[in-house]
Structure 1
Amino acid sequence: MYNSTVARLTYRGLLGRRRALILFLLPALLLLIAVAVRQLTGVDDQIAADVLGGFALATMVPLIGVIAGTGAIGPEIDDGSIVYLLAKPVKRPTIIVTKLLVAIGVTVVFSAVPTLIAGFILNGNSQNVAVAYALAAAVASVAYSAVFLLLGTVTRHAVVAGLVYALVWESLFGSLIEGARTLSVQQWALALAQKTADGGLVTSDVGLVPAVVLLSVVTALATWYAGQKLRVLKLAGEE
């Protein structure tokens, strides 16, 4: 279920000049904010949690997930170059799983790792805040990558759809409407962070067990359905 050639091509596409600039920009902004906040406020556990929760997990992680998840396959489908890959003797579910693993790896590196570093800058991991939010970012990266990879297979407007989900549903509705919070990847990831952090600094509207179940189900279903969509994608001359 993993093909090194597909992985290499996907990495090249994701880390091209334009996407790489955006991928580096968001973590750099987080680290800049962390340094500035630390200089202005000193060590403050609550402020550290607010910065990591409000910017890193709520904004940076889903945006990087959109870039990596949709970029892993969407452009190839849009420009038609996917036909060259599909013509190779590689099973289509293998293509999806490989691209998903690449998208997860890129999202984790550019979101969870900077979140951990920012947490250490802000409060030196006091109350396990840095580790908790880094864990949440890593877990959310998996689900976001699967969901946005699926969007890349079902619509030519995957980036727009992903941004609407990330910024409108997750950030806006998820923060204002109580019912929407329970259907939020961010809240599911926060359930694991809440279990890790000390002092009640991290809270979630979803229990740990439901969060783990929902994260697993959404990731599995999105991956499976993306594989099904790619399986029925017809090459010219196949019919």
Structure 2
Amino acid sequence: MYNPTVARLTFRALLGRRRALILCALPALLIVISVAVRALAGVDDNVTSDLLGGFALATMVPLIGVIAGTGAIAPEIDDGSIVYLLAKPLKRPSIILTKLAVAIGVAMAFSAIPTFIAGYILNGNSQQLAVAYGIAAAVASIAYAAVFLLLGVVTRHAVVAGLVYALVWESLIGNLVPGARTLSVQQWSLALAQKIGGGDIVQSDVGLPVAIVLLVAVTVAATWFAAQRLRSLTLAGEE
């Protein structure tokens, strides 16, 4: 269910010069801010948690998920080049799974690793915060990649829809409206960070068992729907 050729083409598309610059911008900003905060405020676990939770997990991770998830397939559908891939003797679910694997790898590389580095810069991994938020970012990247890959298949406005979800739902409504937090990938991943880093500093509104179930369910459902949607696409010669 993994095709190396599809993976290579997807990596090349995601890591093109323009998209790579965008992917690097937010992690670089996080690192710069972390260095500045450490220099000005010293080691402070609460400040570390606020920065990693408020900026890295709430803003950077979903935005990188948008770029990686939609960029893995949406441009090919928009410009019509997907027909060349669909014309090959490949199972369409394998195309989705391969592109999802690439999107997850890219999202993790540009979100989870910088989050861990930023946490280590801020407090030297005191209270396991760097590890906790790094793992939370990695887990969130999986769900985001699946959701935004699905958007890339079902709509030609995938980037806009993804940005609305990432900025409005996750960053704004998910932080301000208590009931909406239960349906937030950010809160689900925070439940894992809370377990690793302890509940005194990291807080989540969702219990860990529920968070794990929801993360798995959303990832599997989004992947399945994306495969079904791609399966329904027909080439002109097939009609």
Q: Counterpart in 1 of 2:4?
A: 4
How far apart are the structure 1 equivalents of 2:208 and 2:45? 23
Q: Counterpart in 2 of 1:48?
A: 48
CA apart distance, 1:52: 0.4
How far apart are the structure 2 equivalents of 1:222 and 1:198? 31
Q: Counterpart in 1 of 2:13?
A: 13
Check if 1:176 corresponds to 2:179. no
CA apart distance, 1:199: 5.8
Give the direction of change, closer, same or farther, for the CA distance of 1:182–1:199 in structure 2 (3 Å limit): closer
Q: Show CA shifts across 1:155-182 (max 9, x none).
A: 0000000000000001110011111000
SS in 1 for 2:190: helix
SS in 2 for 1:237: helix
Q: Counterpart in 1 of 2:162?
A: 162
Q: Show CA shifts across 1:174-197 (max 9, x none).
A: 011111000000000000000000
Name the aligned partner's letter for residue 34 of structure 2: A
CA apart distance, 1:198: 3.0
Name the aligned partner's letter for residue 179 of structure 2: G
Q: Counterpart in 1 of 2:237?
A: 237
How far apart are the structure 1 equivalents of 2:26 and 2:182? 26
Q: Counterpart in 2 of 1:136?
A: 136
How far apart are the structure 2 equivalents of 1:133 and 1:124? 13
Name the aligned partner's letter for residue 45 of structure 2: D
SS in 1 for 2:200: coil
Structure 2 residues not aligned, in runs of 5+ = none
Q: Counterpart in 2 of 1:27?
A: 27
Name the aligned partner's letter for residue 77 of structure 2: I
Q: Counterpart in 2 of 1:36?
A: 36
How far apart are the structure 1 equivalents of 2:8 and 2:128? 36
Q: Percent identity over the alignment?
A: 77
- Note the 1:47-196 alignment, pairs <5 A: 47-196=47-196
How far apart are the structure 1 equivalents of 2:30 and 2:181? 24
SS in 1 for 2:237: coil
How far apart are the structure 2 equivalents of 1:94 and 1:198? 39
How far apart are the structure 2 equivalents of 1:73 and 1:200? 41
How far apart are the structure 2 equivalents of 1:225 and 1:90? 18
Q: Indicate conservation of the 8 Å contact 1:139/1:189, yes or no.
A: yes
Q: Indicate conservation of the 8 Å contact 1:174/1:181, yes or no.
A: yes
How far apart are the structure 1 equivalents of 2:82 and 2:117? 37
Q: Name the Cα RMSD after superposition.
A: 0.6
How far apart are the structure 2 equivalents of 1:236 and 1:9? 23
Q: Indicate conservation of the 8 Å contact 1:190/1:204, yes or no.
A: yes
Give the direction of change, closer, same or farther, for the CA distance of 1:199–1:207 in structure 2 (3 Å limit): closer
Q: Counterpart in 2 of 1:225?
A: 225
Structure 1 residues not aligned, in runs of 5+ = none
Name the aligned partner's letter for residue 128 of structure 1: Q
Q: Indicate conservation of the 8 Å contact 1:127/1:199, yes or no.
A: no
Alignment length, in residue pairs? 239
How far apart are the structure 1 equivalents of 2:198 and 2:162? 33
How far apart are the structure 2 equivalents of 1:87 and 1:138? 34
How far apart are the structure 2 equivalents of 1:83 and 1:170? 34
How far apart are the structure 2 equivalents of 1:178 and 1:46? 21
**Structure 2-normalised TM-score?**
0.99
Name the aligned partner's letter for residue 161 of structure 2: A
Check if 1:198 corresponds to 2:198. yes
Q: Counterpart in 1 of 2:207?
A: 207
**Structure 1-normalised TM-score?**
0.99
How far apart are the structure 2 equivalents of 1:198 and 1:186? 17
Name the aligned partner's letter for residue 140 of structure 1: A
